[in-house]
Copies of this chain bind each other. A is one copy, B any other.
Amino acid sequence: MTFHSREIHLTQAPSGLPTPANFEVVGRQVEEPQDGQLVVRNRYMSVDPAMRPRLSNGQQRVGSVMSGGALGTVVASRNSRFREGDTVLNGMGFREYFVSDGSGINILDPAGYPETLYMHVLGTTGFTAWGGMLVVGELKEGENVFVSTAAGAVGSVAAQIAKIKNCYVIGSTSSDEKCDWLLNTLGLDVAINYNKGVLRKNLKAAAPNGIDVYFDNVGGSHLDAALPRMNVLGRIPVCGMISAYNNFGAISEGVTTLANMIYQRVTMRGFVVYDYEDKREQFLDDMRRWLSTGQMKYKETIFDGIEKAGDALIGLFTSENIGKMLVKLD
């Protein structure tokens, strides 16, 4: 038995905003597993801003499958660790089927939670927000917090963690609809539509007591606006700089206010989730508790079909998602 799979290849490294022409759907036959192998049918694929810089810096090679996180089902196994029907998390990216020797494939026990939550609040997205706030950002109860792109996957979790810690939380996002979600569902104190007015002025008005922790997903003009508002010994966990990603993956608008880092003795730190892998159990304990008490809310924006994967990735940069961006495979 073989499996008719489709996968998404990068055709060309984009220099600006990716276009559909940067991606192509490629058909492939996946053969039945040999001894020690298994075959997985992916059902959901994770779409993340961090995929964008990899398109330009050579990590994502032209002509190869787009790498990324996915959730699937084992459809054939000759590996003793896996059985047909197992739900598995994997990092095999944008493809419908793949064969594997099992390395990097983890069996998922959803423990009563919807399985897609392991693609976001209970997965890397949530762990990134949790560690960014609590480990890198050293968030304390009752501090003043600003989260950029607070209606995004990581941002929405980060902002809610700050609310759970009784902080005053300002979030920025791209539309009034998303502002409404931040204020009325997630309970943020202030939501700023960064497409209206002058962000720097709106943030100043929103932060009468300054900012102790700025959780940065954007960089550029957001960072420029936040730095003059930072309080003494403030922290800026840098989770992403989405404003730079579509300029050869690295170049943002100029940030001119960094001298405030000295005046206020601010710490800014870029991080990735595996910087604090040793704390994953603590994260899962917290997050499961917050889900069960209803303190942690989430949204998913789902594109249907592997042929939409490129559009979904582009959509992250054109503000099409609220919460986690996923592609669902039939």
Which residues from chain A sit less than 8 Å from chain B, CB to CB?
Answer: 53, 57, 219, 223, 228, 238-241, 244-245, 249-272, 275
9 additional A-B residue pairs with CB within 8 Å, beyond A265-B269, A266-B269: A238-B262, A241-B258, A250-B260, A253-B254, A254-B254, A261-B270, A262-B272, A263-B270, A265-B271
* Complex Cα spacing A57 to B257, Å: 14
* Complex Cα spacing A253 to B255, Å: 8
**Number of copies of this protein chain within its complex:** 2
Kindly report which residue of chain B lies nearest to residue A271, judged by CB atoms. B265
* Complex Cα spacing A258 to B254, Å: 9
Q: Are A57 and B258 in contact (CB under 8 A)?
A: no
Q: Are A259 and B245 in contact (CB under 8 A)?
A: yes
Partner of A250, one of B244, B259, B268, B272: B259
Residues of B within 8 A of A245 (CB): 259
* Complex Cα spacing A53 to B262, Å: 11
A97 CB, nearest partner CB in chain B, Å: 32
Residues of B within 8 A of A219 (CB): 258-259
Q: Are B251 and A254 in contact (CB under 8 A)?
A: no
Partner of A259, one of B244, B264, B272: B244
Q: Are B268 and A267 in contact (CB under 8 A)?
A: yes
A54 CB, nearest partner CB in chain B, Å: 10
Kindly report which residue of chain B lies nearest to residue A224, judged by CB atoms. B254
Partner of A256, one of B238, B240, B252: B252
A-B contact pairs, 12 of them (CB 8 A): A238-B258, A239-B262, A245-B259, A249-B259, A250-B260, A253-B254, A255-B256, A265-B271, A265-B272, A266-B269, A266-B270, A268-B269
Residues of B within 8 A of A254 (CB): 253-256
Given contacts A238-B261, A240-B262, A241-B262, whether A250 and B228 have CB atoms under 8 Å apart is yes
Kindly report which residue of chain B lies nearest to residue A250, judged by CB atoms. B259
